[in-house]
Amino acid sequence: MLTNGMTEVLKIEYPIIQAPMAGGITTSTLVAEVSKSGGLGMIGAGYMTPNQIREQIREIKKLTSSPFGINLFVPNEFTYTESEIKSANQLLQPIYEQLNLQLNDSLDIPNSIHVFETFNEQIKVVIEEQVPVCSFTFGIPSKETIAELKRNTIILIGTATTVDEAVEVEKSGMDIVVVQGSEAGGHRGNFISQSQESLVGLMSLIPQVVDHVSIPVIAAGGIMDGRGLMASLCLGAKGVQMGTAFLTCIESGAHKVYKEAIMNAKEDQIVLTRAFSGKWARGIKNKFITEMEKHEDLLPDFPVQNTLTQPIRKASSSQNNADYISLWSGQSPRLAKNQTVKNLLDTIITEAKKINNYI
């Protein structure tokens, strides 16, 4: 039951992928430990430069010979006006003051061309360094990119939030599709459906997707233990991708106050916001989300707003202040524990086997 088409394709022992959380959480130790313990560790490389990516891949390869993976953000066209930036900065001004920060007029606002170039360079590094698995969020790369990766025998994973998106992922030639339920923490991965209407719970999403694609389906969102793993398999998934469960692990690079915030949160304190990055994402409601709530629709798109709020998140973090950090979390914070990766994985497998014997 715990080995199937998905574990075979990925050459791993357990059908468990560590979600590729961006922003410094997926340390080399975290990724390597997951892979060494029988799962698939993943680098959250969305915000990383090609050089940082190359360095981390090499570091992980020194720590383990087991397969691991990397996730990249598929770039989308975006535009912004000077007046949008100005009014967004006006909203952020009081928070800058509160954190004793100077509003930085020389912030390097990204532009579409540059973002597409960086993506192509990231892909180049993934191929050169022969990363066994590459997953994508926010869309599907070009046919050429997919063909190039496949020629280099890299296993490809797409992300979908609806049946239609999963069908597109399969059509593009990817090997596996991760379905992101509404329970999931962090950014919504929708790329066809509207973000607010693609918030489908896994109990509904998994079976409907499984009925419409033939590649293995991996469930993501709120899964933290053996119960979630077994439930996903019953619904027709071949495995799970877990973020929050690994985020609070000892090996994760998440800030101490971030880990604590998750372990003290309740499921109904976790909300959707686009205040941090310009893209809808799920996290623990804190002061920043509350203060920006009324203006949510006025903020510039991803990744522009993300760049504007970066100094705030950085300062808040270095002041050990959880008020202005993006506290991304899935909807199961009560199940989060501060433990080693090995302990988490061993407990899941033991529990899954127990459920399997009982039901």
Runs of H (alpha helix) within the chain: 5-10, 28-36, 50-63, 82-98, 112-128, 143-151, 163-171, 202-210, 226-234, 244-247, 256-263, 287-292, 304-318, 341-358
d(C-alpha 125, C-alpha 45), whole Å: 11
Give the footprint of a second copy on residues 275-334 (CB under 8 A): 285, 330-332, 334
What is the nearest approach in angstroms of a second copy to the Cβ of residue 126?
Answer: 31
Q: Contact with a second copy (CB under 8 A): which of 35, 71, 182, 252?
A: 182
Phi, psi of 216 (to 5 degrees): -60, 140
* Using rule CB under 8 A, residue 186 touches a second copy: no
Provide the sign of the torsion angle of the four alpha carbons 13, 14, 19, 23, taken in this order: negative
- Near a second copy by CB under 8 A: residue from 63, 91, 115, 231: 231
Q: Does 264 bind a second copy (CB under 8 A)?
A: no
Residue 77: DSSP 8-state: -
- The least CB distance from residue 291 to a second copy, in Å, is 17
Span 148-177, contacts to a second copy by CB under 8 A: 162-164
Calpha distance 310→208 (Å, rounded): 38
Q: CA dihedral in degrees (138, 144, 147, 152; nearest 10)?
A: -90
Cβ closer to a second copy: 181 or 303? 181
Residue 194 CB, shortest distance to a second copy, in Å, is 7
Piece of the chain touching a second copy by CB under 8 A; list 13-21, 73-81, 130-138, 218-226: 218-226
| Binding residues vs a second copy (CB under 8 A) | 1, 162-164, 181-183, 193-194, 196-208, 211-212, 219, 221-225, 227-228, 230-236, 266-271, 285, 330-332, 334-335, 355-356, 358-359
